[in-house]
Amino acid sequence: MQTAVPILPLIDPFARAITYLRVSVTDRCDLRCVYCMAEDMIFLPKKDILSLEELDRLASAFVAMGVRKLRLTGGEPLVRRNVMSLFRNLSRHLNSGALEELTLTTNGTQLVRFADDLAACGVKRINVSIDTLDRHKFKAITRWGDFDKVMEGLQAAKTAGLAVKINAVALKGVNDDELDRMLAWCGQEGFDLTLIEVMPLGELGSEQRVDQYLPLSEVRRRLSETWTLTNIDYKTGGPARYVQVEETGRKLGFITPLTHNFCESCNRVRLTCTGTLYMCLGQEDAADLRQVLRFSDDDAVLQAAIRDAIAHKPKGHDFVIDRRNQAPAVSRHMSVTGG
């Protein structure tokens, strides 16, 4: 139901306009990346999960309040049953001009099946997470992954005309010797690359993040011994800071929540598949929008609850990873909040 009252944009207490919503459409995944999940993860009961129609209504309420960019993520968004109907329905906001971008972050395992459909829904760019080009390491990192399937998925994305950005988490002693090769490969394939520092989100079982954490300040210094990296002003609406790799003509991004956080320009909030809105990836501040959604079918009520939640957005996270701080900053895994 639409209200006739003009809707004011979402501004948080630190005068940041909220224009970017990430929606975790499922906490489930077909992989078990060692920095993301424990192998024996317990997933949410299906009854707690919002239906695709409810996710659409919630996301659309944000769009009506000025959100211009929508990213579906997870867990693995493409393993959610019938997820393409959600993309199809949300694409009406692209057609109306209310939304600038509809996109997703995926592990790439289902792209052979879905790349064409995504393009048909108006998706133009996708983020695909691959931390290594070595198939044995790929298996070790993802525990359950099939490297060839992901490579085929990437080709399908290219054929469908989707621009691809590779996301790679920098992992000490795992892929730090490979980042040069990945940069060269992205150049050959026509992909941009973003490197991400491992973040202290959720328990991992036997793995320790302090053993995985590799500061990107060090990575950048090392890469610049081989590559000409020129600072550029390019922005995708996300937290990455980009350089141009002169030798390949592609962009290289750095997401550095630990060595340098960019909370001052944060424009986003994250919605889980149970309808909980997290105002910050690294803090506990949250609002239960599922209750509001199910209590009233008046969108004005929903929008009032969203506005109230945004009024509680914290200033930033305070991630630390060192020997003395081995506990996660928050107990939720990235797959719950949506990376």
Residues that bind ligand SAM (CB under 6 A): 29, 35-36, 73-74, 76, 105-107, 129, 167, 169, 196, 198-199, 201, 334-335, 339
Measured in whole angstroms, the distance separating CA 158 from the mean position of its chain's CA atoms is 20
Contact 56, 82 (CB under 8 A): no
x-or-dash pattern for ligand SF4, window 112-131, by CB under 6 A? -----------------x--
DSSP for 278-291, written as a single string: ES-TTS--EEEHHH
Give the Cα separation of 23 and 331 in Å (integer).
19
Q: How far is the CB of 82 from ligand SF4 (least distance, A)?
A: 19
Whole-Å CA distances, 272 to 128, 157, 192, 238, 261: 20, 26, 27, 18, 23
Q: In what order do the strands lie in the sheet with 192-197?
A: 229-231, 241-245, 250-255, 192-197, 163-170, 125-129, 101-106, 69-73, 20-24, 268-271, 276-278, 286-288
* Cβ proximity to ligand SF4, 95 vs 206, nearer residue: 206
Q: How far is the CB of 234 from ligand SF4 (least distance, A)?
A: 25
* Cβ proximity to ligand SF4, 29 vs 83, nearer residue: 29
**Residue 78 contact partner, candidates ligand SAM, ligand SF4, none, CB within 5 to 8 A by sort of partner:** none
* Half-sphere exposure of residue 267: CA atoms within 13 angstroms, side-chain side: 16
**Which of 76, 192, 197, 299: binder of ligand SF4 (CB under 6 A)?**
76
**Residue 171 contact partner, candidates ligand SAM, ligand SF4, none, CB within 5 to 8 A by sort of partner:** none
* Contact between 33 and ligand SF4 per CB under 6 A: yes
Q: How far is the CB of 292 from ligand SAM (least distance, A)?
A: 26
* Cβ proximity to ligand SF4, 24 vs 60, nearer residue: 24
DSSP for 149-210, written as a single string: HHHHHHHHHHHTT-EEEEEEEEBTTTTTTTHHHHHHHHHHHT-EEEEEE---BS--TT--HH
User: Given the rule CB under 6 A, which of 24-32, 202-210, 258-266, 319-327 is the region that contacts ligand SF4?
Assistant: 24-32
Q: How far is the CB of 34 from ligand SF4 (least distance, A)?
A: 9
**Residue 303 contact partner, candidates ligand SF4, ligand SAM, none, CB within 5 to 8 A by sort of partner:** none
Contact 76, 110 (CB under 8 A): yes
In the chain, count of helices (H) and strands (E)? 11, 12
* Cβ proximity to ligand SF4, 73 vs 236, nearer residue: 73
* Contact between 29 and ligand SF4 per CB under 6 A: yes
* Cβ proximity to ligand SF4, 175 vs 303, nearer residue: 175
* Cβ proximity to ligand SAM, 216 vs 302, nearer residue: 216
For ligand SF4, the binding residues (CB under 6 A) are 29, 31-33, 36-37, 74-76, 107, 129, 335
